[in-house]
Structure formats: structure tokens, C-alpha cells
Structure 1
């Protein structure tokens, strides 16, 4: 095997090795294209030149490495590909913790793009997006698909794009075309075409499109977006897909009717609780993907029944910073155990005892890495192999939580946390080194972001508490609000639901907008 790996380096011998780094002595979770599976190299080495992986070795100190190559000791460490987040809204970082008890219906009327529009200046969008992306890098997330539905005007939209460029992360930035007062769909498409001609300082930021109006938008807007996609062939189109109990569709079959699933554009459908066998077959036939956001979908009650049946066309995402971190490890762990539990239940409901665990840690690892790359049609991402982009994460295998591991995949998926990440490389450059972000202006960003978040939070909490009654979005006769039983963990009379501790002394007012908290508990 070593000779094959070394031979793969031959085509790179003419490259300038002055920008080369050798990660030496670690356990590498590589990917074998021939078997389509993970391949573990213990006490090996990985050579990066510029933005690419150019060598994999089965020994820590391979022969023939130039003297000007920087050697980074990775003894007792685990080297993985960077994790890939296929669905998130970075601009919402400033709302962090405010949605901790909210439902999806409350989200629509309090935190959504439409509701949050008056709260954000372009500067607020910039600080929020940049802080969220640096949080992601710190967590080993090197690639993000950002469904940027902060398309409120040109300046606020562009602020998210500029922050994405500044972050040093690999970002597929997909502005969400959506009519808003003073910013029409034709104007948004005009801006998109302008951004599409923009020269970025590197290839880390890629322009995409987001659109959710396939079933509810004005027909002329939907046709215009479909034409834009077919004419310009953006790298990715991302779509919120609900269905099921939710009277919001945007299903693959509906989108397919506009002729955009069989183009070169990768289409990522986020959530997908309305998945059916027919929709699954259409995704397979067109090689398009679903982004499963486990924590968000369980938190908000999207509903999940069949998503585990289409893992070969699925990847993982985080969704929103207002309630969740950008730790894709957590999403992989949650989804692994959620899937196991569901399939175990199917066996036990027949009064049988499960004889085999239905999902492995290897599969969860692939969902968090390789599958995200395939969803974006970027096979050079999400895998450690010669020729792939050098987006890498290095875990310290001797932290208290990792100590004693034998299987590196299980160690990462079941035992690791963000604090175990020593290094992160994006495009061959250290974005996190020795446990600290390399972004030199982070301290300045922290102060700006905290001031911005405090201002947004103050304005947000001054709003009236939403009252959800009757039917969802006026869907008379179809979707009505219902109440789940509250859970109290204190014996006897208990403590009730409890307030949301929102800061500023936690002094609440009668009209404070705290979704998920009852009026008599404010």
C-alpha cells in the first residue's frame, strides 16, 4: 500500500514545496476510492503542498521529504478531513440562546428572515456572519453551505458575503431570493448576477442560490429564479423542504417540474420531513441530496419518519446559531443514535430482540464528511486522499475524553469534542493552530460582535410575545395549533416551565418576547 501512496506523489514533484507541511506521526482517517470506504493509517504522515494533499505515508518520517518542508508533530493525534455543514444561517449568530425553548411555528413569527429584518444593519450582519464562521472553524467545520436569507437589501446581503470572504472558511454562500419591501426579485437577481462576476481573493467562497418559493411564491418570481439557475448554472441551489404536517412543500418533484434538478447545479433540500418513496427515488435518479439537521429537527418538531432510508443521498447540517452550535460532531452523534433507536424500535415492536446494531460509527463519520462533499458535487472535499483539498482537522488523542481509544473513527464520533481539536487547516493553511484560531483580528471582532448582539437582543426582547392560536399561517381546515404536555422534573407541585435567562439582569417585562415561555412565567 505504501508504494502505491508514494507513487501518487510523483506527479507533484515539480511543485514548489516551500509552502509544504508534513503532518507526522498521527493516525489518519483516509478514504479509499476503490472500496468507497474509510482506511485508517496508523503512525503515518500526510504531506500538504499549497492547497492539496500530495502524499500519504505509512511511516511517520518518510524518505524523500525536502528539508524546507515544515514538519508538525502529530504523534498520539487523529487526523480527519474537515467536517461539512450543508445547511445553516450564519446571520442568526447574534440571536444565540434566545430560541432555546421555541417551536418551529414560533420561529417563523419571531426569528425568521421576515421577522428579524428590522433588527439588523449591514454591520450587524457582517459581525454575526463572521463570528459564526469562526465558531465553525474552531469546531473543525471547514466547509459551510449558508442559506443566506438576509436578503433585505443590497448592503445587508453583501455584508454576509464580505464576512464569508474575510473568515477564511470554505463557504458556499447562497443568497435567498425572496421578495421584500423595497427589494424586488428582479433587483435581487440583478445583484446576484453582479456578485457572480465578482473576483474573490481565493477559491474559498462559491456563489450559490437559495429559493423557497416553489410552491408559495409568485409564479413570475419562481419562473425567473428557474431561468437564472438554468442560464447561469450556479454551483449549488439550496431549498427548505418541509411537507408532512407543514403546509409548505418545495419538494423534489415540484422543483423538478421547473427543470432544475437535471442540470449541473447541485441541489440540497434541507430537512425533508415530507420524504416519500417516490421523492427518494427522484433524489437518487437526479443525484440530489437532503441535508438532515438532527438537533434542529428534533428541537423544532419538524417530524422525521423516513430520512434514514435515504442516507446515500443525505448529508448533515446545523441550521441556526440561535439555538445550536456549529459542531457537526454533535449532529453526527445525535443522528447516529436517533437512527439506531428508531430501527431498534422497529424490531422490538415485533417483540424481538435486536441481533445487530443497524448503523455504524463509520457511516456517521461519512455523513459528516464525504457525504457533504458529494451533496455539493465536490469530491475533492470531505476525504483524505492524494489530490484532495487540504481541509483537515487534527484531534488530540490524549485529552481526558479521548484517552484510551483504539478505533479512531469511534473516538471522533462518540468521544471527541471541540476542545479536543488542536489544528484546523483550510485550503492548506492553518485556520486553528495549537488550539487557537489564527484569525488575527478575533479580539476586535469579539467586542464588535458583543455590542451588535446586545443591541439586537434589546430590540428583539422589546417586542410583544407572539400568541399562536387557531390555524398555522391561516391554513384553515388543515394545520391547527396543538399543545404538547409540559414536562417538569421537580417532584410535587414542581417549578413550572421556567423562564428563559436572557441577560441584562434577567429582569423581564410584561411584553418581553421570549418564545417558548408562558406569560405567567415572565
Structure 2
């Protein structure tokens, strides 16, 4: 059938109305972990419902709705279930998925040599390897309830590699701050990357997806101040969504801390800055974070795994959110990070009392605080008031947890149920931007099995290559002049053996 001008406009208007109607979803009958904007606090709503229209939450209520529900509304029964905001990850390298299980015992210095941006990955990974690793890595995060990610794609070895990571990010549908990584490479200098970045700013896909464009950069403490100034000016010129940097500190170097950035007169910009790790930040750094409202991204499992440790992180939690870091070495879900960090902080604060031979009178950190770190704090780090909460006007990024799962059966406090008892296998549904990305425990990814096969082909090639590479020798001094020292090793067997064992790769 062929339509003329007027008829065609009428049809388009009708199609638009139908689309809007079909885009409405009512999650009803569950327990909602909402947000009371007037009290600025969490609000648990029993027999609650969440109305989603297009990409936005338009109502959160208990009992019957006092308004007019949209036409063609899809009603999802969540009786006995828990509805929560999605988790926010403020630091991840999604492209590294193919390294899964290879780095289970690695240290940070071995990671730099073997798996990082200047490792053999620089020359061995093809753009296809980056694309498929990025895509399945983001789906892994989504499956675990992570709905927003600040992605740190330090795989920008060429324009093709950078575009592969970005294309996968768009395809995933995960709400992503894609923080383009700037570093000089032999065949792709920062100058060339800036030209590419200027083109990326005009990519129309940013207008129609939940992905935004930011910048990541690790050269603030280098001697190349001209390059740093150029990148910061670019961030200001293009008004990027975020700037992020690795602030390792201590014996690890990379002291990209607030004090260093303050020298460039950049902290006072409207652009949020996220300092990954920042375990060794100083009191002055803390003051600058609070003064200019910037955040650190604490990645608990990573910092334990690699040995960053947490000398100061527990002292700046009012300006901290949670992240994952290298998801190929450990858990990729924020729930695990929140749980680890909750108990770690409790241990730290308890010890201050017990070491004085006193008894703790209270528990020093609550499950509510851990939940907020995993959700709203990430939104605050990105200066977003429309994510990380369930409230009218917020983006429809939410999770539905099976309230009858064996792990939580008998719960009364939904926040405690999630933070201390649930596991990511209990997540029934994941919605991002008003669309179900996981439904009835299954990712809504067309052709996901074929996608897995495609990834496994890439991963086997990469893993075969890495398996043949000898481990770096960690003796003498590292490149930064700090001496290596072997730590006391765990011993779980009597006699000559320790039980440490080989990697079964």
C-alpha cells in the first residue's frame, strides 16, 4: 500500500502513539526500594508498583494507581519480589574479557606487563577481538545487574580498535560513559587520537542511545604538561560527560591525584572527575574532592587482588563510589564489591576499638550505606540525578530480584536481603532505559549463542597465545625503581608443600 502526504503523516502519528503505548510497563505487587526525594533517603514501599513510560519512571506507588494508566500497558507481576535500582560501576576495562581466568594469581606489576594497555595485547589483539570481548563483557555486567558503567577503554591502539570498542558499547544497550583513552602509541599518536575524538563527538548514535562520551587519561603526573593541557582543553571544548584517571599512588606510582590536577586549574570545571582506586590519597586530596565535588572509584576486589590495599579509602566514602576494574580476574558484579567493601570497612573500624581492648558498641557501617555506594553514589560521581534511584523522573534502570529464591527466602528487609544474602543468579529482570535487557533470568540478546561462539573463537586464540608466554620475572627492581620483595606465602599443607599449585590454563 502506498500512502500520500496527508495519509502518510496520519500513519506516522498513529505508529508513534502505538509505540508510546507499547513502551509503557507496570511492575506491580513487589517491594520497591525507592527514593524519597523530600527526605533525601531510601524509602521501602510494600505492595509497590513502578510505572515506566518510554525511558523514564513516571510513578512509584503502593496499592492502586490514582492516575490514568497508558494504553497498551504491559503489566509485570512482581509479587513477592524486590524491585531495586540498577547498580552503577564507576571503573571497568570491558575489552579484556578474553583473559578470563588467566590472571587469577597475578600481581599488579605482572598485570601491567602481561595484560594492560602496553602489554602484548597492544599488537596481538585485532579490532574484532576488542569488539567481541567488549560486547560479551558488557553483557556479563548487565546479567549481574550493572546498568551503568564508566568504561575505561585503554585499548585505543588504533582508530579501528577504538571504534570496535565503541561500536560494541552502542550495541550492548548498557548505559555507558565511554571515556576515550588517550596515550601515545607508535602508530597512533595523541594528535591522531584527538582528530578521531573530534569525529566521535559528532557520532549521531550518542543522540539515540544511553551512551555518553568522556575522556580517560593517565598522564597528569608526567612531564608532558603540554599534552595534558591539550587534552583538558579538549574536554572543556567538547563538554565531555566525565574525565577519569588511574590514581594508584604508594609504591605503584601513577599519582594522578586531585593535588596534581589542581595544578592545571581543572578541578573547578563542571565536568565530573573520577579517580580510580585513589587508595593513597592525602588529606589535601580529600579536601579537594569535597571542595570541588569529585569522586574516587573504590574497586575493593581489585585492590585486594592486586595489592593496592586500602590505607585511606575508608576515610573518604562520602566522595566515593564502587567499581570493578579488570573483570577478567575476578567478579564482574557490583553486588560482590559492595559486600566485600561493607565487611572490610566494618573490620577496619572494629579493629580501632578492639586494638584498644574495648568492645564495639555499634556496627560501624550499615547495609543501607553499602547499597547507596552501589547505586546512588555512582550517580553522584557522574553528577547524574536521574540514575541510581527509583523515583518519578529517574531513568528506568532497574532490577527485579526473585524474592522466593533460596538465598533470600524469609526476608523482611529488602536492602539487607540484597546486600547480604542474594546473589546475581537471583536477578529475574534487568531494565535499562525502559527496555528489558534481561527477562525471566535470560538476556534478551538476539543470537546470543552465536555471539558466544564468536567470542570463544577469539578467546581461544588469545588464550593459546598467552599460555605460551613466560611469566614476567619479578625480582630486583621494577621500572619505577621500587624493589620487589617476596611476601609471606600462604601455607595450607603440612610438610614441604604449600598447596599453592599451578594455573590450570
Q: TM-score range by the shorter chain?
A: over 0.9
How far, CA to CA, are the matches of 2:214 and 2:223 in structure 1?
19
The aligned residue for residue 388 of structure 1 is: 394
Query: Does the 8 Å contact 2:153/2:181 carry over to 1?
Result: yes
Matched, 1:137 2:168: no
- Of the structure 1 ranges 205-214 and 222-231, higher mean CA displacement relative to structure 2 is found in 222-231
Shift of 1:441: 2.2
1:165 maps to 2:150: no
Tell me whether 1:83 sits opposite 2:82 in the alignment: no
Specify which of 170, 178, 187 is matched with residue 183 of structure 2: 178
SS in 2 for 1:47: strand
Q: Does the CA-based 8 Å contact 1:284-1:313 persist in structure 2?
A: yes
CA contact (8 A) 2:131 2:168 kept: yes
CA displacement at 1:458 relative to structure 2: 1.2
2 CA distance for matches of 1:341 and 1:27? Answer: 31
Q: Could you report, residue by residue, the CA deviation over 1:107-156 in whole angstroms, capped at 9, with x for unpaired residues?
A: 11111111021221000000000000000110010000001100100001
Does the C-alpha gap of structure 1 residues 273 and 63 become closer, same or farther in structure 2, counting only changes over 3 Å?
Answer: closer
Structure 1 residue aligned with 2:195: 190
* Structure 1: distance between partners of 2:220 and 2:486: 30
Count of residue correspondences: 485
1:365 corresponds to which of 361, 368, 371? 371
Question: Which position in structure 2 is the counterpart of 1:111?
Answer: 115
- Other-structure match for 1:507: none
List runs of 5+ in structure 1 lacking aligned partners. Answer: 1-14, 503-522
How much does 1:65 deviate? 2.6
In structure 2, the residue matched to 1:298 is 304
The answer as to whether partners of 2:322 and 2:334 remain within 8 angstroms in 1 is: yes
1:422-461 matches, cutoff 5 A: 422-461=428-467
What RMSD over aligned residues (CA atoms) do the two structures have, in Å?
1.4
Aligned-residue offset at 1:61: 6.4
| Helix, strand or coil at the partner of 2:152 | strand
1:57 maps to which residue? 61
Counterpart of 2:324? 318
Rounded to whole Å, the distance in 2 between the matches of 1:237 and 1:460 is 32
- Once the two structures are overlaid, the 10-residue window that deviates more, 244-253 or 136-145, is 244-253
Name the SS for the 2:475 alignment partner. coil
Structure-1-length-normalised TM-score: 0.91
- Please tell me whether residue 333 in structure 1 is matched to residue 336 in structure 2: no
Question: In structure 2, do the counterparts of structure 1 residues 44 and 60 end up closer, same or farther at CA, with 3 Å as the change threshold?
Answer: farther
Contact 1:95 1:321 in 2 (8 A): no
Report deviation, 1:264.
1.4
SS at match of 1:378: coil
Q: Kindly indicate whether the alpha-carbon contact (under 8 Å) linking 1:226 and 1:259 is maintained by their aligned counterparts in 2.
A: no
Match of 1:482 in 2: 485
The residue aligned with 2:12 is none
Contact 1:119/1:460 (<8 A) preserved: no
1:188-224 CA distances to partner (integer Å, 9 max, x unpaired)? 1111111011111623110100000111252332121
Mapped partners of 1:474, 1:294: distance in 2 = 24
- Aligned 8 A contact 1:21 1:70 in 2: yes
Give the deviation of 1:493 after TM superposition: 2.9
Q: Tell me the equivalent position of 2:96.
A: 92
Superimposed CA distance per residue, residues 253-280 of structure 1 (whole angstroms, 9 cap, x where no aligned partner): 1012112211111100000021121110
Report deviation, 1:28. 0.2
TM-score under structure 2 length normalisation: 0.94
Tell me the CA shift for residue 76 of structure 1.
0.5
**Equivalent residues of 1:24, 1:60 under 8 A apart:** no
Q: CA deviation at 1:495?
A: 4.6
Shift of 1:57: 1.1
Q: Which residue of 2 is the match for residue 517 of structure 1?
A: none
- Quote the offset at 1:56 in angstroms: 1.0
How far apart, CA to CA, are the structure 2 residues paired with 1:474 and 1:347? 37
The one of 194, 198, 204 aligned to 1:199:
204
CA distance 1:121–1:408, shift in 2 (3 Å): same
Of 337, 353, 356, the residue aligned with 1:347 is 353
Q: Which residue of 1 aligns with 2:14?
A: none
- Stretches of structure 2 that go unaligned for 5 or more consecutive residues are 1-18
Partner of 2:8: none
1:472 positional shift: 2.0
Structure 2 residue 267 is the aligned partner of structure 1 residue 264: no
- Residue 32 of structure 1: CA displacement? 1.2
Deviation at 1:342, TM superposition (A): 0.3
Indicate the SS of the match to 1:454.
Answer: helix
**Contact preservation (8 Å) 2:399, 2:427:** yes
CA distance in 1, matches of 2:30, 2:495: 54
Hey, what does 2:11 align to over in structure 1? none
In the aligned structure 1, how far is the partner of 2:488 from the partner of 2:113?
22
Q: Determine which of 355, 371, 378 is the counterpart of 2:384.
A: 378
Aligned residue number for residue 40 of structure 1: 44
2:157 maps to what in 1? 152
